[in-house]
Amino acid sequence: MAEAQTLLSGTKTIVTSNTAEKLTTASQIITGMVVRANTANAANVYIGPSTVTTTNYFLEKGESLQFDVIDPARVYVYGKENDTLSFFGLIP
């Protein structure tokens, strides 16, 4: 039988427009992660490293992105103030 995993989940509201912000401060290795942009967002939300800008990968309203393995504290977002994302991942 497989070992039980714990779920890491949360939401991120962008505090300041056009500024790179951490998706979460929860620093741990996870075995998979999904990030989804809220359907009510005002604009695209960009996702990437700490230097994220409008040249990085973006999520349109309602779009999601899946990662295989990542430390979620190393994921940054960039977008409009009050836009939100939800995320979840599995902690081994």
Q: Which residues contact 61 (CB under 8 A, 6 or more apart)?
A: 37, 38, 39, 40, 41, 44
Mean pLDDT for back-to-back runs of 10 residues, the chain (92 residues): 79 97 93 95 97 96 92 95 96 88
At residue 75, the pLDDT reads 95
Look at residue 2 in the predicted model and tell me its pLDDT.
61
**Residue 62 and residue 47: Cα distance in Å, rounded?**
14
pTM: 0.90
Residue 69, pLDDT score:
75
